[in-house]
Structures are given as structure tokens and as C-alpha cells.
Amino acid sequence: MAAPLLLLRDIHLTFGGPTLLDGAELSVSEGERLCLVGRNGSGKSTLLKVAAGLIQPDQGERALKQGTSVRYLPQEPDMVGFETTLAYVEAGLGSHDDPHRATYLLSQFGFNGDENPAKLSGGEARRCALARALAPAPDVLLLDEPTNHLDLPAIEWLEQELKTLRSAMVLISHDRRFLSNLTRTTAWLDRGEIRRFDRGFGEFEAWRDEMLEQEEIARHKLDRKIAREEDWVRYGVSGRRKRNQKRLGDLHAMRQDRREYRSATGNVVMEAAEAENAAKLVIEAKHIAKTYGERKIVTDASIRVARGDRIGIVGPNGAGKTTLLNMLTGTLAPDTGTVKLGANIQMVTLDQKRESLHPEATLKEVLTQGHGDMVTVGENRKHVIGYMKDFLFGAEQANTPVARLSGGERGRLMLARALARSSNLLVLDEPTNDLDLETLDLLQEMLADYSGTVLLVSHDRDFLDRVVTSVIAFEQDGKWMTYAGGYSDMVTQRGHGVKARVANTMDGTKPGKSKKAGEKAEVAPRKAKMGFKEKHDLETLPKKLEALRADVKRLQVKLDDPSLFTREPGTFKKTLAELEAAQTAISAGEERWLTLEMLREEIEG
């Protein structure tokens, strides 16, 4: 059996508190597609950093096969010191890598390569970092939440792109559909150790539940055996006799095992505080429209929302999903048309940016609104520590500032605060961001049991399928269409998923421009003139493409020799690689030239 490309053996790591990694082991073989799963805070990102060589463990070994190239996508990329996005991506290329692929990938993520990295938003920086990780087509690709900040067209494009790569991959993601479509092996990080399952994520959860059930049975048997032995000590033959000392020692050993047993992390206890029922017709929008400048966000939309509906709103970034949501809930007036809300509406909103959490406020202050130690959940009152534990926060975190929480912890805190308020209309804008899979399950179950109405904006295909009863989808030029069922039902009815709003980009925003607060940031002003590099590329690309096409013909003639493979297998393999690289360069070059030509025509009117 061939040696693995990357091997982690007996990894131990502690950051001043409980042990995070306790003998974790991970091997990655050539071409392997592996997902790394586990609860938030279990150490997945830390283990990936160990695999990337960025963190030195307290104990254990990291072994990398000689000549193996590794690329790592962090959750928070560092782009300091680079003047342009193209310079940042090209810095990740090796001497033998194709430089055209950097340009191609940047264009797919909505960049032209001239943007200043210091002015990118968090989402734009991650897309740029993703281009840098993919550009070299490394032997091992380590991706930490690659779908974060991507819209549905970008996620589905990335899925197809990763399928074509020969790289071995280790993926961390909360997107079930993404993991199920890409992975063939699952590594479960549980209580500091890795449990390997030689199946893809689609079969993992049933196996995990079976493992936990068997573990619970074994723990129950151990408890019963301890109870029997304790009875023997109390009422049986005297423990002072020599022949009974071993049995007494075994009891002490069992008690020690029970004390050291690390139980599985508990589940979130999630229940929404429900208000009295609203009217049967919750929202009625008639012929509403919204325009920013020349840009049509919503055009002549009529939407009815009845009590108990669970509606998903989908579309690419920049399509105006949040604008439509704000119009339907009455927080933004339409330019034309009317929106009528039913009687007795009690609305609770969860925003996607977590901006309503003050960074200096503590968990306790957020949940109690700064008053005392009790949380009001609907009509009931509960001690803040008990309510925190329902959402997997420890008592010691009560005075922890929001700024020190992870993305997943902030997501749980927002849910905890939102679900404590009485409501009959839940408005959730990207609620799944940064939540682990188990918390997503419980959120889904809570929404299924919720008797009120739900309006949901999400890019998570699996979550939409599990939760919503209908989908409102963006159809270009400000038009929105309603489809019965979940996301997969919508795809079946319309024949395709969500498409990008602007051709040749994966995002509706103008390349290199950060979106500001409010929907006006979605308006991309026309560019006044072409930059020097753009002009140079437009002039020189035709000759480069002509030379590349000549190379393809030459290499193809060489490969047409039927005896080349048997006579010179090394030359055959090298020639095939050169042919694929040239074909990729042609595709990227043609895409770049077309983009620039369209830009030139737009500038010249």
C-alpha cells in the first residue's frame, strides 16, 4: 500500500484549558476526498492548522511525503503586504504552475486582479484566498469552511471545480449538500480523538448515531457493574482477605474509568417562545417595486404569506434578497405598490451579520438585556446560567465579552436571544452561518415545530429542503417567482438552480467593491476607464492564445502516436500534463479576453 501524502500521528494539544486534541490521528492519501467533522469548539480548525504546518502540537508527529505540495484555506486570510489581488494569488503559485489559472479563478470569483486587498470586505477576502488555494492545483488541499460568504451560484460552481481537481482534499464545512457531493471518507473529531469512517458524509450521521448509542449502552453497563461491586464491598465477604483484594482493586479501577470518561457534548435545547396566533393572512404585498438608480431590485411582485408558511428566499449575492425581505416585513417602503401586515404580528428578526451584538457586552448582559440574572423566555423566567447551558455555553462564559466568541458561538448567542422573545413571525437572514451540523439539526426541528410563520434567507440547499414549504427565487431584472416545496423542488420545476446575477462573476457586487450597510451598496457604478494591465491584456491576449492553440496542436500530434505510451510512458505523462495545462490556459485566456472586451464596450458606450 502506498504511503500517505500527509500523516498526523498521536497529536496532543492544549491551550491552557481542557485538552483539545488527545492523540488525534489523520492520514491523507493521494486523491482522497475527506471531510473533517465535529462540534464547534472540538478542534477541527486547529487540527487543520497542524496539518498545514502552522501550529506545532505539544506532542505527536506530522509527516509529509517528500515533494508533496500543500495549500491551506484559512477562515481569516492575511493579505497584508500585497498591492493587488492578482499579486496575492500569484504569490501562492509554484515555479511550474500555470499563471493564467490565477487570472481565471479570480474572474470566476468576481475580481479583475487590480483590486487593493486592504479595501476588500471579509467575504471578498475569503473568495480571493480561495482562488489562491486552488490556483496551484496542489497535491493536498486543506479547506476550512470554503463555502462561507459564497452565494448559491458560487457554491455550485466551486463544487464542480473541486470535482475536476486531482488534489487530495480535507474539507471542513457546515454545508451538508456540499460535503455529501464531494467526500468519500469522513474523519470525526470527537473528544480530542479522530474516528475514521470509510464512507462519505452522506452515510456518516447514521453511523455516528449508532456509535453514540453503543457507547451509551457500554456506559450504562459500566454503571451497573460498579453498583454491583459497591454492594459486594458493603455487604459481601470482608475486603481485608487477600483473595478479595484484586476484586476491590478492580472496583477502584472502574470508578477511575468512570470519572475519566469524557461524555459526548450535550445538545442545544432549542425552543422558540411563541406568541398568540396572528391573523390568517400575515403579509400581503401587491405589485411592489424597488429601484436604486438604474438598477431594478424588485419589479411588480405580488406575494401572499399565510399563517404557518415557511418561505425561503434565494438568489445570488446582490440580487436584493434582504431588500425584498425588508419590504415584506414593513421595514422598507416600496417605490410603488402596497404591503399590508396582518393583525397581532409579533416579529423577531435574526440578522446575518450579528451586528446587533455589542462586542463589549457579555453573554449575561446580552441575554438579560443588562438586568439581573433572569431571562424572560416567552411568559416564563429562567436563570441566565441555565438558559446559557441550553445553548451549550458553560457557566464560566457568563462574563465573556462577545468580541471573544467564535463565529459559531455568536450564532448560538443570536439564536438564544432571538428565541427568548415571544413571536409569531420569525425573520431569519442567513441563520445557518457558522453553526455546527448538530445545532443546524436542532434549529431545523425547532422551525418544524414552530406554529408561527417563517421567512428565511439562506444559501444552504439542504437546510432549505428540510425547512421551507415554498421558495421565492430571483429570476433576473428584478423579477421574483414563487415555487412550491424546497430548493430541490424549485430546481425540478425551473430546470436549474440559482444563477449568477452578472455574467462572468460569482457575486452580484462589482469586483473589488465592498458592500456597505443597506441595499444601495448593491449598485455597481460604471467604470470610467480601463487600467494599464487591462489594456495590456486586451492587446496581448490574442497573440498568446494563438501560440497556446499552436502548442495544443503540436502536443496532440505527439499524443496521437499509439506507441508513445508503451515506448516512453514518462514522456507520454508529461506531454498529457502539458496539453491539459495549455487547454486550461486557453479557457482562462478566452474568459479574460471576453470580460475585458465587454468592459471596453461598456466604457465606450
> pLDDT tens across 69-118, in order?
999 998 888 898 899 999 999 999 988 888 899 999 999 888 989 999 98
pLDDT-based confidence at 228, cuts 50/70/90?
Answer: low
Residue 458 counted as domain residue: yes
Alpha-carbon distance of 501 to 479, in angstroms, equals 12
Which grid coordinates belong to 571?
A: 514522456
Alpha-carbon distance of 585 to 570, in angstroms, equals 23
pLDDT value, residue 1:
53
Sort residue 85 into left (φ over 0), alpha (ψ -120 to 50) or beta: alpha
Residues 358 and 495 in one domain: yes
Distance from the first to the final alpha carbon of the chain: 62
Q: Which residue has the higher pLDDT, 131 or 213?
A: 131
Q: Nearest Cα to 104, choosing from 77, 129, 86?
A: 86
Residues 287 and 347 in one domain: yes
Which grid coordinates belong to 412?
A: 448560538
Residues 247 and 285 in one domain: no
Give the range among 177-191, 310-324, 353-367, 509-523 with minimum mean pLDDT. 509-523
Residues 299 and 382 in one domain: yes
Q: Is the pLDDT of residue 519 over 50?
A: no
Which grid coordinates belong to 407?
A: 463565529
Instruction: Compute the average pLDDT of residues 5-34.
Output: 90
Residue 567 counted as domain residue: yes
Residue 54 counted as domain residue: no
Task: Give the distance from CA 112 to its chain's centroid.
Answer: 25
Residue indicated by cell numbers 517528500: 66
Q: Which residues pair with 142 in a beta bridge?
A: 72, 170
Please count the residues of the chain. Answer: 605
Residues 406 and 297 in one domain: yes
Q: Which of 9-13, 294-298, 366-370, 428-432 has the highest mean pLDDT?
A: 9-13
Q: Nearest Cα to 515, choosing from 319, 318, 350, 327?
A: 318
Angstrom distances, CA of residue 44 to CA of 48, 230, 267, 421, 434 = 6, 40, 18, 33, 13
- Mean pLDDT (the chain) is 81
CB of 360 closer than 8 Å to CB of 559: no
Q: Which of 116-130, 239-253, 324-338, 415-429 has the highest mean pLDDT?
A: 324-338
Instruction: Compute the average pLDDT of residues 509-522.
Output: 40
Q: Is the pLDDT of residue 245 over 80?
A: no
Report the share of the chain in percent with pLDDT over 70.
81
Which grid coordinates belong to 176?
A: 451538508
Alpha-carbon distance of 345 to 327, in angstroms, equals 15
pLDDT value, residue 266:
54
Give the range among 1-15, 21-35, 347-361, 575-589 with minimum mean pLDDT. 347-361
Q: Which residues pair with 303 in a beta bridge?
A: 285
Residues 6+ apart with CB under 8 A from 426: 272, 347, 348, 350, 418, 447, 450, 452, 453, 454, 455
Residue 171 counted as domain residue: no
Alpha-carbon distance of 381 to 367, in angstroms, equals 12
Q: Is the pLDDT of residue 20 over 50?
A: yes
Residues 539 and 476 in one domain: no
Alpha-carbon distance of 66 to 305, in angstroms, equals 60
Instruction: Compute the average pLDDT of residues 120-128.
Output: 82
Residues 482 and 558 in one domain: no
Residues 595 and 458 in one domain: no
Q: Which residue has the higher pLDDT, 92 or 589?
A: 92
Q: Which of 225-229, 332-336, 525-529 has the highest mean pLDDT?
A: 332-336
Residue 492 counted as domain residue: yes
pLDDT value, residue 231:
60
Crossing angle of helices 437-449 and 407-420, rounded to 10°: 20
pLDDT-based confidence at 129, cuts 50/70/90?
Answer: very high
pLDDT value, residue 423:
83
Residues 369 and 493 in one domain: yes
| CATH at residue 427 | 3.40.50.300
Q: Is the pLDDT of residue 392 over 80?
A: no
Q: Which residue has the higher pLDDT, 542 or 471?
A: 471
pLDDT-based confidence at 141, cuts 50/70/90?
Answer: very high
Residues 6+ apart with CB under 8 A from 282: 305, 306, 307, 309, 341, 342, 345, 425, 453
Residue 373 counted as domain residue: yes
pLDDT value, residue 360:
87
Instruction: Compute the average pLDDT of residues 361-387.
Output: 85
Which grid coordinates belong to 340?
A: 399590508
Looking at 466, 484, 504, the residue that finishes a domain is 504
CB of 229 closer than 8 Å to CB of 251: yes
pLDDT value, residue 41:
75
Pairing of strands 480-484, 470-474: antiparallel
Q: Which residue has the higher pLDDT, 156 or 432?
A: 156
Give the range among 43-57, 94-108, 563-577 with minimum mean pLDDT. 563-577
pLDDT value, residue 527:
47
Q: Nearest Cα to 264, choosing from 209, 213, 191?
A: 191
Q: Nearest Cα to 189, choosing from 204, 168, 210?
A: 204
Give the range among 183-187, 209-213, 322-326 with minimum mean pLDDT. 209-213
Residue 329 counted as domain residue: yes
Residues 492 and 540 in one domain: no
Q: Which residue has the higher pLDDT, 83 or 17?
A: 83
CB of 471 closer than 8 Å to CB of 464: yes
Residue 398 counted as domain residue: yes
CB of 21 closer than 8 Å to CB of 47: yes
User: Containing domain of residue 250, as a range?
Assistant: 207-260
Residues 229 and 318 in one domain: no
The number of domains in the chain is 3
Alpha-carbon distance of 575 to 115, in angstroms, equals 36
Strand spans (E) along 181-238 = 185-190, 193-197
> Is the pTM above the cut of 0.75?
no
pLDDT value, residue 508:
41
Residues 364 and 251 in one domain: no
Alpha-carbon distance of 195 to 318, in angstroms, equals 41
pLDDT value, residue 272:
59
Query: What is the chain's Cα-based Rg?
Result: 28
Q: Is the pLDDT of residue 343 over 70?
A: yes
pLDDT value, residue 301:
93
Q: Which residue has the higher pLDDT, 247 or 116?
A: 116
